[in-house]
C-alpha cells in the first residue's frame, strides 16, 4: 500500500513539475510584432490585447522597459509606463486596441496574424494595411491628422 501511495505521489509531483516547466518554457514569438510611436513619453499608457489561445506570451519593449506578460483570448487592458517614443510589442497578438493613446505612427506589417484592430482617435498621418490578409475588423475612425489610408482587397474586413 505504501509503495502504491509513493508511486502515485511521485507521478503527481512529476506531472506538476512538468506542467510548471512547460508553462515557464513558453516563449514569445519574436517574429511577429507591432510598432508604434507616441507623442508623449514618461507616462502610463494602456493597450488591450488578445490572442488565439490562453496564456500567450507577449513582450513589450520601450526604451529601458522590457516586460513579458501573458494575454488571453479576450481583449484585456494592460498598462505600462513608457519611457520613450517608440513602443514595440512582440508576440502572437490577434486583437489589438490602441485607441485614444496619442499615437502618431502604427506599423502592423510584421504581425500578419492580426484579425482585429481598434486604433481610432489617434494622430496618424497615414496607415498601411497591405499584407494584412487575416484582418477582419478595423476601427480607424476619428483621425485628427490623417492624410491617407491604404488597404487591400479583403472581403472579410468590416470597417
pLDDT digits (tens, 9 = 90+) for 96-127: 999 988 899 999 999 999 999 999 888 888 88
Q: No. of H helices and E strands in the chain?
A: 1, 12
Instruction: Write down the pLDDT at residue 154.
Output: 55
Domain boundaries, the chain: 28-150
Count CB neighbours of 31 within 10 A.
10
User: Residue 104 contacts by C-beta under 8 Å, 6 or more apart in sequence?
Assistant: 37, 38, 39, 122, 123, 124, 125
Q: What is the pTM of this model?
A: 0.77
Q: What is the average per-residue pLDDT within 28-46?
A: 93
Position 131 confidence tier, pLDDT thresholds 50, 70, 90: confident
| Average pLDDT over all residues of the chain | 82
Least confident of 69-83, 106-120, 144-158: 144-158
Amino acid at each position: 500500500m505504501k509503495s502504491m501511495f509513493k508511486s502515485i505521489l511521485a507521478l503527481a509531483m512529476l506531472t506538476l513539475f512538468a506542467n510548471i516547466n512547460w508553462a515557464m518554457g513558453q516563449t514569445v514569438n519574436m517574429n511577429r510584432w507591432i510598432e508604434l510611436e507616441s507623442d508623449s513619453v514618461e507616462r502610463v499608457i494602456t493597450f488591450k490585447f488578445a490572442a488565439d489561445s490562453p496564456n500567450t506570451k507577449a513582450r513589450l519593449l520601450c526604451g529601458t522597459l522590457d516586460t513579458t506578460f501573458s494575454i488571453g483570448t479576450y481583449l484585456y487592458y494592460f498598462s505600462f509606463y513608457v519611457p520613450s517614443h517608440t513602443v514595440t510589442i512582440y508576440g502572437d497578438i490577434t486583437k489589438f486596441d490602441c485607441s485614444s493613446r496619442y499615437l502618431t505612427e502604427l506599423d502592423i506589417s510584421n504581425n500578419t496574424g492580426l484579425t482585429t484592430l481598434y486604433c481610432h482617435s489617434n494622430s496618424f498621418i497615414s496607415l498601411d494595411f497591405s499584407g494584412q490578409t487575416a484582418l477582419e475588423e478595423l476601427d480607424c475612425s476619428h483621425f485628427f491628422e490623417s492624410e491617407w489610408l491604404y488597404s487591400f482587397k479583403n472581403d472579410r474586413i468590416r470597417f
